[in-house]
């Protein structure tokens, strides 16, 4: 018997999924993902471009009951999804699936909460929709990567619209696979996002995820109003896969769908930089701690990398904030300069911005020589990227550290206690200790919540 077509297969999976059907590991992951979503959104809300986004939503948003994070404001669901995703998905500190090359949580949570909170839906329904959105977004991307990226597309933006659409449609059309597929068909026509910013700079990536979240919610609301899209949009002769990739393999979409959850392959980032440079940053932090190394002690730096990051992620002199966050040499130099000692401290956008103006950081980044390292190549997988860092010191010593996979990756996950500690440290900027604890308890109790609106930080 032939498999159902890819679009309808994903739609049927989303239509049938309930929170109770999720394995314990996925339920646990959802708790951790919500905490990290709120932590990163709290960080992102303070960025200058978040202010721009708030001003934009004030001008364009309509009336509605969807809450805006960290405020008493409410607006229409699509606008809420947009703004909340700017907060949670614009600083490159949000969760990531390395193989799919995307950030699912910021989009899927924002979309599901926008619909769920505005409609007064139960927590378990919203969490099941979130899980469906994660799976759709990741699996679609795996079918078209790396060809999709090589064509110049950023999959958080392009595939993110499917994560948002599936999550929103699963809530609006429970059990109705065909309408979920029609929503996916609509959403595909809103898919977009190019990586020219890697070369030319700009702030467009700060709204890539947000645009995907809003467009997916728009698609679901359009379907609710009566519109429809092609139910073979992924695989059709002029569909998404053919238009957006040169090589397509739908096997990852079907692979153990409903029994194995790709969301458990998602990594949590310790720092606001590319997931593929986190092992290098960790090596820098470890060496500085262990050997009491400061920037002025270093004569030369050699960074052993896998081939996958050579080029776009190895600039020694990034010219923009986005470029700095995507640069392994710069990120290593910044980590050395910051002399990180705390297990909670994370390099944030503010640090990268200040680093661009710091001659010590720029001079150290210029010293970093990136070389292909066979062990880093072997260690790198669809889940994480390894790195080897060697520092030649002015006193004649050479110190080296190899990190096969960074903290927060699937093979070295944060514990739930780590997640609580990290989110509590950030929320302390906004709330009293009891207020932060109350929000964490609301997240923990979300599966039992009759109305997901209780989670309105």
Domain ranges of the chain: 6-265, 275-403
What architecture does CATH give domain 6-265? Answer: Orthogonal Bundle (1.10)
Residue 382: what pLDDT?
81
Residue 342: what pLDDT?
64
Residue 339: what pLDDT?
83
440: tokens are 């964490």
pLDDT tens, N- to C-terminus, the chain (457 residues): 456 899 999 999 999 999 999 999 999 999 999 999 999 999 999 999 999 999 999 999 999 999 999 999 999 999 999 999 999 999 999 999 999 999 999 999 999 999 999 999 999 999 999 999 999 999 999 999 999 999 999 999 999 999 999 999 999 999 999 999 999 999 999 999 999 988 888 999 999 999 999 999 999 999 999 999 999 999 999 999 999 999 999 999 999 999 999 999 999 999 999 999 999 999 999 999 999 999 999 999 999 999 988 888 999 999 899 899 999 999 999 999 998 776 666 899 999 999 999 999 999 999 999 999 999 999 988 888 999 999 999 999 999 999 999 999 999 999 999 999 999 999 999 999 999 999 999 999 999 999 999 887 7
Longest dimension (CA), the chain: 72
pTM: 0.94
Residue 1: what pLDDT?
40
| The CATH homologous superfamily of the domain defined by 275-403 | 2-methylcitrate dehydratase PrpD (3.30.1330.120)
Residue 2: what pLDDT?
54
Say if residue 357 is exposed, middle or buried (CB neighbours under 10 Å; 0-12, 13-18, 19+): exposed
Residue 198: what pLDDT?
82
């Amino acid at each position: 018997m032939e498999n159902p077509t890819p679009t309808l297969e994903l739609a049927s999976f989303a239509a049938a999924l309930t929170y109770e059907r999720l394995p314990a590991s996925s339920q646990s992951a959802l708790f951790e993902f919500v905490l990290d979503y709120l932590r990163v959104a709290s960080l992102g809300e303070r960025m200058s471009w978040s202010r721009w986004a708030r001003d934009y939503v004030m001008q364009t948003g309509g009336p509605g009951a969807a809450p805006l994070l960290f405020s008493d404001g409410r607006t229409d669901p699509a606008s809420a999804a947009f703004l909340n995703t700017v907060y949670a998905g614009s600083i490159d500190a949000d969760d990531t699936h390395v193989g799919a090359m995307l950030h699912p949580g910021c989009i899927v949570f924002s979309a599901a909460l926008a619909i769920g909170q505005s409609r007064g839906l139960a927590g378990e329904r919203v969490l099941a929709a979130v899980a469906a959105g994660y799976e759709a977004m990741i699996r679609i991307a795996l079918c078209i990567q790396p060809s999709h990226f090589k064509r110049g597309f950023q999959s958080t933006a392009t595939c993110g619209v499917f994560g948002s659409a599936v999550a929103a449609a699963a809530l609006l059309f429970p059990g109705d696979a065909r309408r979920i597929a029609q929503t996916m068909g609509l959403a595909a026509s809103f898919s977009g996002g190019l990586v020219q910013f890697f070369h030319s700079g700009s702030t467009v990536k700060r709204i890539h995820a947000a645009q995907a979240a809003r467009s997916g919610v728009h698609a679901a609301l359009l379907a609710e109003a009566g519109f429809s899209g092609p139910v073979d949009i992924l695989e059709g002769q002029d569909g998404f896969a053919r238009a957006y990739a040169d090589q397509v393999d739908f096997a990852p979409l079907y692979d153990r769908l409903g029994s194995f959850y790709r969301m458990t392959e998602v990594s949590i980032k310790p720092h606001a930089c590319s997931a593929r440079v986190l092992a290098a940053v960790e090596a820098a932090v470890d060496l500085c701690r262990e050997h009491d190394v400061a920037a002025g002690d270093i004569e030369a730096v050699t960074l052993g990398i896998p081939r996958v990051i050579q080029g776009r992620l190895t600039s020694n002199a990034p010219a923009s904030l986005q470029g700095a966050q995507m640069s392994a040499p710069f990120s290593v130099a910044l980590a050395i300069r910051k002399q990180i000692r705390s297990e909670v401290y994370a390099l944030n956008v503010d640090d990268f911005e200040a680093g661009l103006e710091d001659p010590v950081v720029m001079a150290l980044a210029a010293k970093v020589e990136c070389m292909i390292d066979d062990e880093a190549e072997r260690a790198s997988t669809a889940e994480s990227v390894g790195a080897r860092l060697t520092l030649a010191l002015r006193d004649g010593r050479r110190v080296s550290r190899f990190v096969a996979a960074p903290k927060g990756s699937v093979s070295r996950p944060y514990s739930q206690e780590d997640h609580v500690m990290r989110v509590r440290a950030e929320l302390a900027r906004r709330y009293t200790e009891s207020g932060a604890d109350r929000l964490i308890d609301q997240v923990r109790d979300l599966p039992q919540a009759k109305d997901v609106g209780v989670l309105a930080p």
